[in-house]
Amino acid sequence: MIIGVPKEIKNNENRVSITPAGVFTLCKAGHQVYIETKAGIGSGFSDDEYKNVGAKVCTCDEVFAQSDLIVKVKEYLECEYKFLREDQIVFTYLHIANDLPFAQALIDSKTTAIAYETVEFNHDLPLLTPMSEVAGRMAVQIGANMLQKGNGGSGLLLGGVPGVMPAKVVIIGGGKVGLNAAKIACGLGASVEVFDISAKRMAYIDDISNGSIHTIYNNEYSLQETLKTADLVIGAVLIPGAKAPKLVTEDMVKTMKEGSAIVDVAIDQGGCIETCDRITTHDNPVFVKHGVLHYSVANMPGAVPRTSTVALSNATLPYILKLADKGLGALRDDPGFMKGLNTYQGYFTCKAVAKALGDKY
Ligand code: NAD
């Protein structure tokens, strides 16, 4: 099969869908990879690195025209819709439930489109996990920076020093984002609390951290009390398929200390903190409300494209290889992979996405 890798054109998107290691694996398995020139530059991979492992470096038009399978990171932008066609498979983050024009373009062109975000394995979303891991770890380093005096914060070092108390980090939601944030905050010496409602998850976090990450059953009262003394709050709640619940109200934020910081990672699902009422960008990520610094960037992994590209590619490559080997037979063999299929021959084929688009169709 010929696998095409276009350069991402979305603003500030520096990831690429396949690393040279991925190209090596695909070529060794007998496939061909056409990659657009400079597609890997933003992630630190040169055209020569791709050429050296067997890729053909070519123009954008050639990639889309020649390939049987297009592998991307982000959804198609309007100027790319012209490349969609019935006899091509597209594998990428689609997010069409929130993107009606792209959904319509996929239906009109009868493209076979498989979304990273709906592929399942063992009731988990394996192609979303790596980005949650990146965002969780980033949340702490971003929060640590926000707390510095020069950045408008209270002037606290997360871990303190001998003789000085560490900062208090409150993480709401102890899933993939939350646990990764907790591990980094704990490693830096901060005092860490994780609020969740899953007893099983809290037992797991308690076990692996040997009790050094404090887990607390989330209810309104406990949260409101702890926020009064929090230095860094990280929002990491997810209710699959739904908007994030607003667990931290504006009144609670008003009780927080001057110069404390909030990173609402769940902002891509609407955010779980009421005062995170806007999506910010990497160019201007922080705003201040009630004396508290707020960060609400919806594509946090985009700031560390090298790490994010490799992490994403590690997760997607086995699926790309299966698709290249077996075509759509790969989906028939694996019900979890089949859940990734969002559009086929002009129809929506993913229940959750069709439901979300609902009465528009
Ligand atoms: P996850 O499913 O692994 O974890 C969510 C956790 O929230 C679970 O442990 C669940 O028990 C907990 N939870 C649910 N309801 C709760 C409540 N009322 N109180 C406390 N905890 C509750 O999800 P994840 O992969 O960790 O993702 C978390 C969020 O981060 C999602 O919205 C995801 O889309 C987002 N995310 C954002 C970025 C970004 O760049 N901003 C990147 C990656 C992920």
- DSSP H/E element including 36: strand 32-36
Cα end-to-end distance, the chain, whole Å = 34
Q: What is the CATH number of domain 2-119+305-360?
A: 3.40.50.720
SS3 percent helix, strand, coil of the chain, rounded to 5, is 40, 20, 40
Q: What tens digit of pLDDT does each residue of 256-292 get?
A: 999 999 999 999 888 999 999 999 999 999 999 999 9
Q: Is the pLDDT of residue 55 over 60?
A: yes
Listed by start position, the domains of the chain span 2-119+305-360, 129-303
Distance 176 CA to ligand 1 centre (A): 7
Surface-to-core class of residue 215, CB atoms within 10 Å of its CB (0-12 exposed, 13-18 middle, 19+ buried): buried
Long-range pairs for 283-290: beta carbons < 8 A, 24 or more residues apart: 283/12, 285/142, 286/146, 286/151, 286/152, 288/152, 289/253, 290/250, 290/253, 290/254, 290/256
pLDDT of residue 241: 64
Q: Is the pLDDT of residue 336 over 60?
A: yes
**Would you say residue 65 has pLDDT above 90?**
yes
Written as six digits, the tokens of 116 are: 């990273």
Amino acid at the residue 123: H
For residue 361, the model assigns a pLDDT of 58
CA-CA distance, 95 to 155, in Å (whole number)?
39
The residue whose CA has the least distance to atom 1 of ligand 1 is 175
Instruction: Give the dihedral sign, CA 328/18/98/274.
Output: positive
Pairing of strands 341-344, 112-115: antiparallel
- In this prediction, the answer to ipTM > 0.95 reads yes
Is the distance from the beta carbon of residue 268 to the nearest atom of ligand 1 less than 6 Å?
yes
User: Mind listing the pLDDT tens digit for each residue in 135-176?
Assistant: 999 999 999 999 999 999 999 999 999 999 999 999 999 999
Catalytic residue among 31, 95, 214, 294: 95
| Mean pLDDT (whole number) for 182-194 | 98
- Spatial contact of 111 and 84, defined as CB atoms under 8 Å apart: yes
DSSP 206-241: HHHTTT-EEEEE--HHHHHHHHTT-SEEEE----TT
Q: Please determine, for residue 359, whether its predicted confidence score (pLDDT) is greater than 70.
A: no
Contact 185, 192 (CB under 8 A): yes
- The CB of 199 under 6 Å from ligand 1? The reply is no
pLDDT of residue 114: 97
- Relative to the CA of 245, which ligand 1 atom is closest? 18
Size of the chain, expressed as the number of residues it contains: 361
Beta bridge partners of 343: 113, 348
Q: Residue 348: its pLDDT value, please?
A: 92
Ligand 1 centroid–CA 204 distance in Å is 16
Residue nearest atom 11 in ligand 1 by C-alpha distance = 198
Average pLDDT over residues 318-341: 97
Q: What percentage of the chain exceeds 70 in pLDDT?
A: 99
Query: What homologous superfamily does CATH list for 129-303?
Result: NAD(P)-binding Rossmann-like Domain (3.40.50.720)
Contacts of 53 by beta carbon, 8 Å cutoff, 6+ apart? 20, 21, 23, 24, 27
Is the pLDDT score of 360 beyond 60? no
Pairwise CA distance, residues 104 & 262, whole Å: 37
Identical fold at 2-119+305-360 and 129-303?
yes
Residue 36 has a pLDDT of 98
Mean predicted lDDT score pLDDT of the chain: 95
Strands 56-58 vs 32-36: parallel, antiparallel or unpaired? parallel
pLDDT at 352: 78
